[in-house]
Every structure is written in structure tokens, then in C-alpha cells.
Amino acid sequence: MNLVRFIFLALTLLLAGCGKKQVGSPPMVRPVTVAKAATRDVPIYLDEIGNCTAYETVNVQPQVTGPIVEIHFDDGQEVKKGDPLFTIDPRPYQAALDKAKATLEQDRAKAANDVATLKRDEELRQTKVIAPQELDNANAASQASQALVQADEAAVEAAQINLDYCHIKSPIDGRTSKRMVDIGNVVSPQIPLLLIQRQDPIYVETTIPETALPRVREFVNAGTLKLQASFADDPGKNRVGAFDFLDSGVQQSTGTVRLRAILENKDRLFWPGQFVNVRILLDTIKDAVLVPGEAVQVGAQGNFVFVVQEGNKAALRPVKLGQRQGNDVVISEGLTGGDTVVVTGQLALAPGAQVAIVPTAPPQGVAAKGT
């Protein structure tokens, strides 16, 4: 009897359980952070390494021999064109000039006398008081005296130039190096005294691979090419300069072509010989679409992003990438400005998944975070 009652009770419970509706678990909501796809004008560029070179460089050398008696600048000083730098003892050259001037005056007096003699002999010849030979001699003497005066004048000019060379002046605006001689050193031509470099403006030189040459030439001819220089340890300190020079040939040893730009450098931000990061700005893309770089994922079919659609559901969107712009990347195909893309939390997502947008600190990129 007890066995029958037990079986009846078990069957009753089983039937009651089968009559209840099964309640499924709710879909899982995935937390994500998002950003709005931003639009702005961005450059098309090539990144290279370059170095700064002085706009003008002059090695100062003496033109005459003698001891240095004065130095008129400090090492590393900014000088203007015409500023005095060195004085070589001018006394021997002043004496040579004085002697040349005295010789000139002496020969001028002789030339004047020869001219007077020639004039007198011409009058005497008209009355046939003197022979023709005497007139010819007077004429030759007068011409020789005139030639001697011209030679003396050239000697005076040369002596004056040598005297002027004793006072060495800056040929350009620029910054001086450390001087290579001191007061008392006897110098002569070809001995270096000083290096002067003009730092404002300044050249920034770089090289481009020959494969990029046709593209670069296209933008050079269009007049849009510029160059931006910055520091590896401080990219925020940068400056844009105008294109100046593209070399006439490819360097066979490296397969590169030299390119140069001119940058304003009044504050001496850049220094000759300094290495810099160079961004060759070819052109500008108007109203480009940008998203944070971490929003872009790579799958079997290529690059994609997750877009948050109406109802906070995720959708997979294939995209085509352009160049990076800081922490952001250009999306050339697949998105429009204002689309909401997932920045973090993609690993747990699938198309159609429900998401919950959580706040996060804004990144350093230009794309604005949103919800």
C-alpha cells in the first residue's frame, strides 16, 4: 500500500513540473566605453628623420699676416653683419699705405712736369727750333709718367685693402662659435679664426625614399607641400616651414632624395646639427572622419569597429583606415561623423549584443567621447 501511494505522489509531482513554463535567463549586458566619430581637416603626410642646418655658415679667416691685437666679441655671441670681430696689428700696413701714397705724389709731380715739357716741346717744334726726335722723346716720357701714376694709384688701393683687412668684421648676421685664436697669436691667410652660423631662419633637411618621389613632386608642383619639425621627446614643440629645395638626383647609395624646408627660428627653438622628427605635409583632407585608434579591431576580413546603434545594441562595421593623427586614426570608408563607436570592451562583443555605456576619462586624441 505504501509503495502505491509513493508512486502516485511521484507521478503527481512530475506532471505538475511539466505543466510549468520554463523561464530563460535574461541576455547579458556588456559594459563598454564609447566615442563619437569626429570630423575635421587633417593632413596627408610622410614621417621621416631630419636634421637642422644653419641658413648661412661662414668660416672667418684672415687675409693678411700679423698678430691679433684685439678681440671684439664673446664666444657664442649674436653678431650683426659689419660688427668688429678681430683686429690684426695695422701698423705695418698703415706704413705701407703711407709709403704708397708718398710715391704716388712724387710720380704725379714728375708726370705733371713731363706734361709741361711735352707742351713746351710741341710749341718749339712748330717753329722748328727742336728736332722731331726730341718731341717724340718728350711724348714718350709723358706717357710713361702717366702709366707710373696709374700703377702708384693701384699700389695705394692695394695697401688700403690690406689695411682694411686688419679689421675683421662679421660678413653675416649670426652666432659665433668658440674663437680659435687669442690675442697675441700671429695669424696668416688660411688659418681659421671663427665659425659664424645664421640660425634665423634655419634649414631643416630630410630624405625621402625614391618610391615616394613621384607623389612628393606632385604636391611640390601643386604648391601645397610643407614641412613640420618636432622633437622626439617633446612632440608638442613643433614648427611648420615652407618647402625650399628638392635635390636634382637620387643618391645611389641609399635610394633617397634630399628635401629641405626653411623655418622661422627667432626664438632659437632649433639648433644647427640637431636631429628632429620631420613630417612632410603633402596636402589636407577636408572633413575627415576620425576615431580613437583603440576603437579599431582587426579580424579575418580586415579592420572593423563596433558601432552602438539604437537600443544600445552593438553592430560590426568594416572600415578602411587612413593615416594616424596623434591618438586617432582617419576612417576613409565605413563611418560618418557622429557615429558612436566602442573604444573598450570589444573582446566580449558580438553583433547584436546589448551594451551598457560606462563613463571614462577623455583620451588625448581629438575625437570627443560621448554616450
Identify whether residues 211 and 323 lie together within a single domain: no
Identify the pLDDT of residue 26: 61
Identify whether residues 84 and 188 lie together within a single domain: yes
Residue 11, domain member (yes or no): no
Identify whether residues 175 and 133 lie together within a single domain: no
Identify whether residues 159 and 139 lie together within a single domain: yes
Residue 313, domain member (yes or no): yes
Residue 114, domain member (yes or no): yes
Residue 126, domain member (yes or no): yes
**HEC readout, the chain:** CHHHHHHHHHHHHHHHHHHCCCCCCCCCEEEEEEEECEEEEEEEEEEEEEEEEEEEEEEECCCCCEEEEEECCCCCCEECCCCEEEEECCHHHHHHHHHHHHHHHHHHHHHHHHHHHHHHHHHHHHCCCCCHHHHHHHHHHHHHHHHHHHHHHHHHHHHHHHHHHCEEECCCCEEECCCCCCCCCEECCCCCCEEEEEEEEEEEEEEEEHHHHHHHHHHHHHCCCEEEEEECCEEEEEEEEEEEEECCCCECCCCEEEEEEEECCCCCCCCCCCEEEEEEEEEEEEEEEEEEHHHCEEECCEEEEEEEECCCEEEEEECEEEEEECCEEEEEECCCCCCEEEEECHHHCCCCCEEEECCCCCCCCCCCCCC
Identify the pLDDT of residue 2: 45
Identify whether residues 39 and 51 lie together within a single domain: no
Residue 362, domain member (yes or no): no
**Chunked in runs of 10, what are the mean pLDDT values of the chain (371 residues)?**
42 46 64 94 93 97 97 96 98 97 95 87 80 85 92 96 97 96 95 96 96 93 93 91 95 95 96 96 92 94 94 94 92 94 90 89 44 37
**349: domain CATH number?**
2.40.420.20
Identify the pLDDT of residue 3: 39
Identify whether residues 269 and 296 lie together within a single domain: no
Identify whether residues 180 and 234 lie together within a single domain: no
Identify whether residues 343 and 248 lie together within a single domain: no
Identify whether residues 280 and 304 lie together within a single domain: no
Q: What residue numbers bound the domain in which 271 lies?
A: 47-55+197-285
Residue 7, domain member (yes or no): no
Identify the pLDDT of residue 201: 97
Residue 366, domain member (yes or no): no
**108: domain CATH number?**
1.10.287.470
Identify whether residues 84 and 94 lie together within a single domain: no
Identify whether residues 219 and 324 lie together within a single domain: no
Q: Count up the domains in the chain and report the number.
A: 4
Residue 17, domain member (yes or no): no
